[in-house]
Chains A and B, each alone.
Chain A
Amino acid sequence: MNDLEQRLADELGAVATELRTPRVAVPGLVAAGRRERVRRRSAVAGLVVAAVAVVATSSVAGLRGDHDRAVEPAPAPVVDDLARPLSLPWWETIDDQDDPDMGVLHAAGSETPFRATDVRYLQGRTFVGNDAQWWWELVEGALEPVADLPLTGPPVVGPDSARLWVEDTGTDYGVGVALRDGSGTAFSLPPGERPLAIGLTEDGRLLMTRGAEVFLGRDGRRGPTPVLGVPEGAEIAARAGGFALYAGGRVVAGRIDDTGRIYQEWGTDGDGAGVWSDDGERYAEASDGEVRVATRSGETGVPLDADLLRVVGWESETEVVVAQWIEVDGAVTGVWRCSTSEVRCAEVADAPNGKALLPGL
């Protein structure tokens, strides 16, 4: 310890030592704790109603409801201290009679009332959007608008936390890039097919689509250049360190070279409904009864005895969160944490249940 550090230790210790501690009314705390539990339960979109709905839906969809309970509680180095099960953000409707679409966004230890229709978790940052394509980023518990206009689609985050989005001005489109240091660039794209932000390359080029066209941009002066070698009908998406292509039951991790041509680094089977890890080196996708995790060196299958599964996101380098999701009514009916190192899944206690938004859904 240097002198300043030693003084800090001494002075903080002195302040704490001389404090008069309060008397605590335990019965009041217990009563408040009970109310808090009830509040949490009632905040789950009317949990009783949801449970009834799940039973009804299960009979239609044929859910087995026979979940892997190999570990209780779920292996969870990141279990939230606020009794929330996930470090990933999630949004859930609350029982608000005045505004039935109102819900609460749970993220990074904060609860933010908000009316959302989409939640994204990108490079450790949480974004929420609504039907009108207004998007906000959650920053230290507060929602900050990504732009002053509605976007054409979700914003994306690239290397060095650069953020890319496309605004719909009503007459043309505005492309915005914000860097971590607060600087940024903006330029316009002419009217036409709606451009969508896809990702940023490591050398600062912007990957976007307009309809079937995939192109790279850097700024307004040089104009967009087409990306070459994209298979017809393929979907392209952002991936740290490059991009991902989904086509013909294959998921491809690729890059774009200096000439704007794509090339494959590695690939795996999948329909593209999975989630890439933050470093772009691992891809997890769920199918009935299994969660498959692929890297450039191979694949691992983690068994999970359930169906209608979707990967929500990565909570650590070895743990994937998976939800059982009824797409037609947006209901989450089970959440598991699957360890790729232990090759097993366990149900997450107190997980969102009922109508909920999670990043991968």
Chain B
Amino acid sequence: MDVTTVAEDGRTGSYEEFVAARSATLFRTAYLLAGSRPDAEDLLQVTLVKVYGGWSRVTRAASPEAYARRILVNAFVSSRRPARFTRERLVHTPPDDAVHDPDPDDRLDLWPLVRALPPRQRAVVVLRYYEGLSEREIAEELRIAPGTVKSTCSAALRSLRETMGERA
């Protein structure tokens, strides 16, 4: 399979162009899911490798970015252990010690609590409130029933409320 492909609808795109255009967006979602920069980088890498492996499917998808996000979210949910993400380290980053992201924990109340949610609840919360997907879209993305999305989201919100209540 060549990395340059003409999609069925006539769209032409290369894998390199896709990575250049979409990796930042995917990385943000990966970070919100994985909760740390190293795990997010590993998750992004796993996702982009799988995107390469299924490039013909990606180019046929109605939304290649949504397709890649689906790979990412499912890779996250199905891999509870961060070690599963770390087959190879290919993502080059500038030295992490030189520049630090502002630590969200310093001023955000909810983010540490979201990071502590179980993987599926976290995935539903991120897709619902960061990506803005509907329950039905999330159900399709995670391949679970819409009712399960609803109950998972409710459980996550309840857990957040309870934890916030305990801290108050």
Contacts and interface: CB of A to CB of B under 8 A. Distances in A.
Given A36-B49, A81-B71, A141-B78, A21 B24 contact: yes
A18 B45 CA distance: 20
Nearest to B87: A32
Contact of A25 (B87, B91, B132): B91
B50 A24 contact: no
Given A24-B44, A29-B45, A15 B91 contact: no
Given A9-B130, A12-B32, A15-B31, A141 B80 contact: yes
Contact of B77 (A7, A24, A37, A109): A109
Nearest to B76: A109
Contacts of A7: 109-110
Given A4-B157, A141-B78, A15 B45 contact: no
A5 B92 CA distance: 35
Contacts of A81: 50, 54, 67, 70-71, 74
A16 interface: yes
Contacts of B27: 19, 21-22
Contacts of B53: 33, 36-37, 40, 83
Contact of B114 (A8, A13, A82): A8
A37 B101 CA distance: 35
Interface residues of A, number: 41
A249 interface: no
Contacts of A33: 48-53
A25 B90 contact: yes
Nearest to B48: A29
A210 to B, nearest CB: 37
B92 A29 contact: no
22 contacts: A4-B160, A4-B161, A5-B129, A5-B157, A8-B114, A8-B160, A9-B130, A11-B110, A12-B32, A18-B104, A19-B101, A22-B91, A23-B92, A24-B44, A26-B16, A29-B19, A32-B90, A33-B49, A36-B52, A73-B60, A83-B53, A140-B80
Question: 4 closest Cβ contacts across the A-B interface?
Answer: A33-B52, A109-B78, A28-B90, A16-B28
